[in-house]
Amino acid sequence: MTPCPVRPRLQIRRPHRRGFLTAAAGLLGVSALGGCDRFAASPTGQRALKAGENANLFVQRLLLTPASLAKEFPDSEISPWFKPNGTIEPPDRAYKALAAKGFEGFKLRVDGLVERPQDLSLSDLRALPARTQTTRHDCVEGWSAIGKWTGVPLSEVLQGAGLKPNARYIVFHCADTMEYAAGSDDEAAETEKTAAPGMESRPEGAENQASDSQSAAAEVPTDEGEEAQGTPVRYYESIDLTDAYHPQTILAYDLNGQALPVSNGAPLRLRVERQLGYKQAKYVMRIEVTEGLKGIGDGNGGYWEDRGYEWYAGI
């Protein structure tokens, strides 16, 4: 008999009380400056903003247990339209090929610091225990929407893979190219090592267009002769083990009782309900388990975090 995988002991970052008081003082200083961009871009401003993030993490982890749930809503409050955030249709040729076939060939790669690397199809994921939750999505841009999500708890996937003792973070590599970076062939090859399996290094580069169904992706014309624009930088995001094992953290494949639309992240998106919308990675193709965040983008834990956003976006 194969022994049941043992859930790793969670390593919860709890800033010291002195750190919390320092953070509060920093936040007061920032508010007094009225959000001055010059200050925010300075080393002192960056330290103050980081202190604010630590305070946010401290307060949420102090007041809530690891199992405290985000508010769930009755079906009567589901938004008539769930506004998509971020990318609404990945331009990458390989993604469009998957979408055109209803994601029949999709495989979720789970690797890194795991005992048993996985390649899971949508059928494999749907065969695992599922959770349905009706929650509110809060976007950093200021809008909210309520949706009914169904998917597999991330903890189920991680338990199937078996985390190694030094595992600390879960990194999500996605299908959508956000920009192109110039670099050498060696740099491009290194980027592709962390990109989603099966995704090409030369995406199509078409403009994003709204899509309300998976089939719409197949209608976007392709240009086989288009020259490469550089090394693709695809969306990436990360969470720690506390959020990874939270009961409401799921890999969603359905929205409001139907297969996830392309515009909302098909075939698979992360739902980590106690954080802001940019943490809910869409078009998830690979899950990498790591000990730290160095070497993932610029080392701040996510695409937007590398551009100044907070890594911990608790609400």
pLDDT (0 to 100) of residue 174: 98
Beta-bridge partner residues of 145: 137
Domain ranges in the chain? 17-63, 75-307
Highest mean pLDDT among 9-23, 57-71, 172-186, 207-221: 172-186
Give long-range contacts, CB 8 A cutoff, 24+ apart: 27-32.
27/51, 27/52, 27/55
CATH annotation of 75-307:
3.90.420.10
Q: Which two tokens stand for residue 246?
A: 């939270």
115-131: per-residue pLDDT in tens? 999 999 999 999 999 99
Structure tokens at 283: 């078009």
Average pLDDT over residues 125-140: 97
Q: Answer yes or no: pTM beyond 0.95.
A: no
Which residue shows structure tokens 């339209």? Answer: 81
Which residue is associated with the tokens 């971020």? 86
- Least Cα distance to 181 among 196, 192, 170 occurs for 192
Contact in structure between 249 and 154 (CB atoms under 8 Å): yes
Closest alpha carbon to 311 in 285, 278, 286, 287: 278
CA–CA separation, 164 vs 113, rounded Å? 5
Among residues of the chain, what percentage have pLDDT more than 90? 60
